[in-house]
Amino acid sequence: MLKSVIRSTGRLGLAIAVVVGLVVLFLALVVLTDGAGSGLAAWLTTLGAGAAWALWRARRRTGPRKLVPFVPVVAAAALTVSVCIPSVPTDRRYPVALPFVATQNWSLATGSRVAVYHYPPSPGSARRATPLVYLHGGPVRGISVLEHRFLQLLSRHGYDVYAYEQPGGGRSGLLPMDQYSITRSVRDLAAFVDHLDKGRVDILGFSAGAVILTRALAEPGIAARVHKAIIAEPGPIDGPTAAIAGQKGRPNAGRLAPAMTGPHATHVPRYGVAFGLMQLGLLSPDTGLVGQAEGANAFTAADLGTDTASAYCAKDASRIPVEDTAGNFSFSPGPSLRIQQTIKDSPSIAAQLRQSTVPAMLMIAECSSQTRQWATTILADDPAIERTQYMPGVGHHMWNGLDDNNERAYATVNAFLQGQPAPQPNYPTPTDIPTFLNDQR
């Protein structure tokens, strides 16, 4: 009896090893083929290898016992085929229209077709002389409802606000994957201002949008279109900056907030494998496993995990606001990774940025999840930064609808654009950078 138990255990162990081995082989082939044919190339090769092994094992068996070696092969095939079958449409399904603002679609001179939102000055408000353009973060995502509310606040105070979603994100059209780059994003900004045709504009760039804005300031031909620039919570602006492994701000809610609820695409084998391997750099952004349209359709707000919570201070962990609706949310992982890679691959823009003459303001959040040196590098290199505003009590998403945070952000933006005294001390200045970093502010 003991021999029988040992023999059965050995057979079960062998079957499990075969299943695991075939799954690992499948994943390796997905990487080697870059997901060709929606993963079917890897799946068929794995199935063929498994079938060959089963036939070899069955060669001396008779009757029903000849089928036993095929059981783990069938199990592995069933497990892995789910990675090859889309569960969302593979053609782009754009978010539904917003009820509170019309979506315009502009075709830019670059060839990009972008979704545009216009918030004109509210009736009775003191109209500001210069249009304000908002560049959202992401890099390739939609403008959240929380951001729209902040844009509405600006318009209620007389600003003529324009915002557009980067190609591939939100309601904007897709580009061929090889056309996504930080250079293209800067060219799109210039083309947008030209299409607006209202002369020089003020620009508020947030996060990835702040990167686009900063790189635009380093190009004199594009910077000439900018009246004033607000660089809010920037990401890395070039390869050398992206390579900095520096410190972050004061504690944020990333590891403290409850897990986000709702559907997770990453819980589906196909998208968990695709997004995971892309994030690890084992699949290219234009992988044949999941196209950019399907990836954008599948990705949900819950898939951002702790990224959203990390944009808030630790004190706000129990009250992270819902930033967006399911119908408006949009994030495209492939193009986002592609643009981030082009930033990492780009040479330093420090020399060009030192020639900037556009009046600028830098905004830094107390509980920022961004590497501090991403902001302080810009502060050190851009001589036209007139003031820095260190925003207490907020994380990366500074205008977040909590307490009076939107009003404080508005006051800071308005004071700079209107040439009024700053609500916060001008800190850090370039000479304060070493102390600022040493104090882990």
CATH number at residue 355: 3.40.50.1820
Domain that holds residue 12: 2-84
What pLDDT does 4 receive? 57
Sequence-ordered list of residues with C-beta below 8 angstroms from that of 33, at least 6 positions apart, any chain? 41, 42, 288
Q: Are residues 241 and 128 in the same domain?
A: yes
How many angstroms from the chain centroid is the CA of residue 245?
Answer: 19
Same domain, residue pair 28 and 162: no
Q: Is the pLDDT of residue 1 over 60?
A: no
Q: Is residue 284 part of a domain?
A: no
The reply to whether 46 and 183 lie within a common domain is no
Q: Structural domain tally of the chain?
A: 2
One domain for residues 210 and 144: yes
Average pLDDT over residues 77-88: 94
pLDDT digits (tens, 9 = 90+) for 347-356: 999 999 999 9
pLDDT of residue 259: 83
Shared domain check, 14 and 125: no
Neighbours of 65 (CB within 10 A): 10
* Tens-digit pLDDT profile for residues 109-160: 999 999 999 999 999 888 998 999 999 998 999 999 999 999 999 999 999 9
Same domain? For 115 and 52 the reply is no
211 and 311 inside one domain: yes
* Structural domain contains residue 310: yes
80 and 113 share one domain = no
Residue 76: inside a domain, yes or no?
yes
Same domain, 49 and 183: no
Of the chain, the percentage scoring pLDDT greater than 70 comes to 97
Residues 366 and 232 in one domain: yes
The CA-based dihedral angle spanning residues 428, 433, 439, 441, taken in that order and rounded to the nearest 10 degrees: 50
The model's pLDDT over 309-339, given as tens digits with 9 standing for 90+, comes to 999 999 999 999 999 999 999 999 999 999 9
On the CB side of 5, CA atoms within 13 Å amount to 2
Residue 16 pLDDT > 80: yes
The pLDDT assigned to 310 comes to 94
User: Of 84, 118, 148, which closes a domain?
Assistant: 84
Same domain, 38 and 123: no
Within a domain: 281: no
- Model pTM? 0.93
278 inside domain: no
The verdict on residue 331 lying in a domain is: yes
Q: What is the pLDDT of residue 245?
A: 84
Closest CA to 319 of 389, 395, 407: 395
pLDDT at 192 over 60: yes
CA distances from 332 to 67, 107, 145, 165, 346 (A): 44, 20, 17, 12, 22
Mean pLDDT, range 252-275, rounded to an integer = 90
Residue 268 lies in a domain: no
Average pLDDT over residues 413-435: 96
Give the mean model confidence (pLDDT) for residues 47-52.
Answer: 91
Higher pLDDT: 68 or 244? It is 244
* Residue 3 in this model has a pLDDT that exceeds 80: no
Give the mean pLDDT of the chain.
93
- Domain final residue, candidates 51, 84, 117: 84
| Span 346-387, pLDDT tens digits | 999 999 999 999 999 999 999 999 999 999 999 999 999 999
pLDDT of residue 88: 95
Give domain status of residue 175, yes or no: yes
Residue 438 has a pLDDT of 86
CA distance 199 to 205: 18
Q: Record the tokens describing residue 187, joined without a space.
A: 């060219």
Query: How far apart are the two ends of the chain, measured CA to CA in Å?
Result: 69
Report pLDDT for 8: 55
Whether residue 195 is found in the same domain as residue 310? yes
